[in-house]
Structure 1
Amino acid sequence: MKVLIVGANGHTGRLLVEYLANNSNHHPYAMVRSKDQEEELMKLGAVEVIVADLEEDVSEVTNGMDAVIFAAGSGSKTGPDKTIAVDQKGAVKIIDAAKSSGVQHFIMLSSIGADDPQGPIEHYLTAKRIADDYLKNSGLMYTIVRPGRLTHDKATGKVELAEKIELMDERSIPRGDVANVLATCLEIGNAKNKIMEVLSGDKEIELAMKML
């Protein structure tokens, strides 16, 4: 499949481009905000780099794509206005574009806590919740992946994955494992039209997903 990765220049997005290029039969197309980012993404394995800004018109970026993985984010240091513009309104724009162009599967990178936004990043979690709800109600085939705190630790290939993880404590998950989960959602039928929370654990990713 042709897979558009929105937010391909982010930490998780770059890992996802590389993972799809080297470990799947799918073709990663990298959406980024700046032409300056093209060379690095091509080296990682992107078939093509599409320059577009989520705060501008993105109505045509999904044309010809079979799947979309939304991995964009405004970043932890931005305020509510930027978070709403990118994580919420930007996601809605891409969902609308995907629906118009007949995308088969839309995978959203969200966050644990988006179902009940509160705490110091409440504005971020609220934006994610609104985007998640919009996707669920869009009519598109969807998967919403909600990881815990992301780290730069080495990926293990093993996770705890469930529709709801009740006891989170201070657990986290490497970004590489999240990229693997997002890519595996393209392959596993059981992941379709599901919301899944994910943390580091002891089950192989594909097996964990099949047990949902």
Structure 2
Amino acid sequence: MTKVLIVGAHGQTARIVTDRLLNETDDQLVLFLRNSSRLNQYETNDRVELVDGDILDTDSLAKTMDGVDIVYSNVGGPNLADQATSLLNAMKQAGKKRLIFISSLGAYHEVPGKFGEWNEQAIADYLPGFRKSAQLIEASNTDYTMIRPAWMSNKDEINYETTQKTEPFKGTEVSRKSIADFVIKLLNDPTKHIGESVGLNKPNTDGDKPEWI
């Protein structure tokens, strides 16, 4: 049995991961988020601990990691580098090593062509945070896996391929269910993809923009 801490647990992908873990495993879950009442459907589940907290409160976050085996971060925002700094400091304080961290395409200027140019403009406010957090995580002593999804959709499908940070990013989109599936695979076998930054996209979705824009 594994104990998993999900930071930013109200995120859409995190909620898919939570439900799959509860349905498919016997894992214990610690769901860390602002305003934990948003996930009160899990209050009576004896495998779930709800924690109302702020990722920037490093000491509180470190205490939440007591007994945890794996940390899965689903946070985001323009201040992602500050959040990553607090998360890494909390993990060091708590003596935790295994980290799964959701980043984004573009974290390494790895998106080619017109889509890459468009993406640079579309998420310009967020890219500095993705890039700095990637540097921080790579320089840490954690056993990390970073996940760089394409533009996320709510399509009811699991269909994805992967690229490494040294390869050009493929495609323009990927479903949240696909991202969750990759996270689940890592949680089920935490020895996979350690020290890697993995791009995720739906095959054959190359273009100048995601299809819905």
SS in structure 1 at match of 2:122:
coil
Structure 2 counterpart of 1:178: 179
SS in structure 1 at match of 2:197:
strand
What do you get for the CA RMSD once the two structures are aligned? 2.3
Determine if the alignment matches structure 1 residue 101 to structure 2 residue 103.
no
1:44 CA displacement: 8.4
Aligned partners of 2:174 and 2:202 also within 8 Å:
yes
Residue type of the alignment partner of 1:195: S
Structure 2 gaps, min length 5: 110-118, 205-213
Work out which of the residue numbers 131, 155, 161 in structure 2 matches 1:153. 155
1:173 CA displacement: 0.8
Structure 1 counterpart of 2:3: 2
So what's the TM-score if we normalise by structure 1? 0.80
SS in structure 2 at match of 1:197:
strand
1:111 CA displacement: 0.5
Query: For residues 113 and 34 of structure 1, do their structure 2 counterparts lie closer, same or farther at Cα, with a shift above 3 Å needed?
Result: same
Which digits, 9 at most, give the CA deviation of each residue in 1:32-73, with x for residues without a partner? 101322413447896111110124443422222111000012
Distance 2:136 2:70 in 1: 17
Which digits, 9 at most, give the CA deviation of each residue in 1:89-133, with x for residues without a partner? 112111111122122310100011011293231231210121121
Distance 2:10 2:82 in 1: 19
SS in structure 2 at match of 1:168:
coil
Which digits, 9 at most, give the CA deviation of each residue in 1:2-51, with x for residues without a partner? 11001111111111111221223432211110132241344789611111
Work out which of the residue numbers 124, 138, 145 in structure 2 matches 1:122. 124
Query: For residues 59 and 102 of structure 1, do their structure 2 counterparts lie closer, same or farther at Cα, with a shift above 3 Å needed?
Result: closer
Structure 1 gaps, min length 5: 75-82, 203-212
Determine if the alignment matches structure 1 residue 73 to structure 2 residue 76.
yes
Percent of residue pairs identical: 23
SS in structure 1 at match of 2:157:
coil
